[in-house]
Chains A and B, each alone.
Chain A
């Protein structure tokens, strides 16, 4: 077991970092907010944690926490500016935010290391810290999927008007989505540089958005379980596909395309749908067909306005 861990430590670290990054995109999507700002926060987190570690020799866990606070505030400010946008326009605005971060990193001079990036970020932050932070994040995200908060998040995503009618401030939830996304993206970026000791502008580009989206589309966008599945699959799959040599990108692309076509709710969605179908079958078997279920509509309509008015008018017209 330890041999496996030692020889795959980079992949294990990448899985946990990829999971937090995927969650930074999944949390807003669960609230119906098409924001990819988590990828930009990843970049800010990586550079910020690197800079404060180099300059102030900040302990790793403190660097991660500072980064999360800063990127959460940036997320809030970004949310205040663009949260009124929706759909594709919002997505494009957040992609622009991510690209701006990349441009700033390239042109940041000595502070960011320019096109070559930051090197030699030595920290006490190890794999165990990475695992602990990720598990805490995962527990909090999982908690947000249950109970009152989970129901409200579902309402904000599926029907904002309904959500408002039951007292939910949709705007506040959307702002929270930006804040959480910022904090998670920042955490992922900070942990990435602290365990790898380096970051370059190429590490924080558009590819991060594609990676995070791929993870949650294939894994499942509605639950943390989907993000876990996606992070494991897309961290380890490229490694496994090395056996096909140059065909690797093609095979990878085909797998993603097939998953998007045949698993629109991801692997986790398939599991949820199968479980529901099983429950339904069990209920039907137990009840032997109950009234009030789908297909039981009765066309016994009431008196329409026109019928009633005609009736009433005819009575009046009769001497």
Chain B
């Protein structure tokens, strides 16, 4: 975890994968996200920092169409998708994890991960046929790969309730990876994990970046952000207050004020 794997980059390079333009999500009078724009490019790891209630998770919900936009546009590969149902977003190969672990309690670890792999069963050639697709009980190679990459070997037959919180988190990440995504949205992926597990997840995300996978990470562990992300956005009260390399964003006075308050900043 202590090694810094990222080199500061200008976020102008790379093909845009996802673009959010003037995105707003209002819940009655509460402006959870208010006029936010950002571009996520191919093969990079982005992070979102912000105090609780700053709108980070709501933004992820909007990007996956689980939360309705009040206004604004979302584009994936240059194509608008802010009016399609949430289930169509997965077909664009956008995978996500949630702020609190969401696994199906009656499925084993293997089946929970296979649920992610199922999303890509019908795509491409070599379709196994309708009946086998619908009712077949085979495990796809993507599941074995996701299990190996998240160090879940040996846990395949466990049920979620039998696992520690950190291990449940890894199952969620494995399910997302099994979808063979082009963009991975991770909402506090290392919450509940110990330092060793965090380092492993950071290494995994960097290895996925090496394969060209774009990632957007919401995380409270700043060291994890610094070690893992290429570019960081900071949010407060639904607005972007800073963006840049992780080190720059962490030093930004507005970010420090958002977390620590004006008085503390003046005192320092």
Asked whether A288 is an interface residue with its Cβ less than 8 Å from the other chain, the reply is no
DSSP class of A's interface residues: helix, strand, loop or mixed? helix
Query: Which residues A282-318 have CB closer than 8 A to chain B?
Result: 283, 287, 290, 292-310, 312-314, 316-317
B101 to chain A, nearest CB (A): 10
Number of A-B residue pairs, CB cutoff 8 Å, is 160
Interface: A84 (CB within 8 A):
no
Q: Does A57 contact B (CB under 8 A)?
A: no
- A222 and B115 form a contact (CB under 8 A): no
B66 touches A309 (CB 8 A): no
A100 to B105, CA, bound (A): 38
| Residues of B within 8 A of A (CB-CB), count | 68
Chain A residue with the shortest CB-CB distance to B133:
A148
Give every chain A residue within 8 A of B256 (Cβ-Cβ): 309, 312-313
Contact (A304, B96) CB under 8 Å given A166-B175, A168-B87: no
- Nearest-neighbour CB distance to chain A for B132, whole angstroms, equals 8
Name which residue of chain A comes closest to B120, CB basis.
A167
Q: Is the CB of B167 within 8 A of A293?
A: yes
B116 at the interface (CB under 8 A from A): yes
- Provided the pairs A143-B135, A304-B220, A305-B220 are in contact, do residues A158 and B96 lie with their beta carbons within 8 angstroms? no
Tell me if B107 is interfacial: C-beta within 8 Å of chain A: yes
CB within 8 Å for A312 and B90 given contacts A165-B66, A302-B190? no
Determine whether the beta carbon of B167 is less than 8 Å from that of A292.
yes
Which residue numbers of A lie inside 8 Å of B, CB to CB? 143-144, 146-152, 154-155, 158-159, 161-171, 222, 276, 279-280, 283, 287, 290, 292-310, 312-314, 316-317
Taking Cβ atoms with an 8 Å cutoff, the residues of B that contact A are 1, 49, 51, 64-66, 85-91, 95-96, 98, 102, 104-107, 111, 114-116, 118-119, 121, 133-137, 154-155, 157-159, 161-167, 175, 179, 190, 192-195, 197-198, 220-224, 250-251, 255-256, 259-260, 264-265, 268
Q: Which 10 A-B pairs have the closest CB atoms?
A: A167-B90, A298-B194, A302-B221, A308-B222, A164-B86, A167-B119, A292-B167, A300-B194, A147-B135, A296-B164
* Known contacts A309-B222, A313-B260; 9 further A-B pairs (Cβ under 8 A): A147-B137, A151-B115, A164-B66, A166-B119, A287-B154, A298-B194, A303-B221, A304-B221, A305-B220
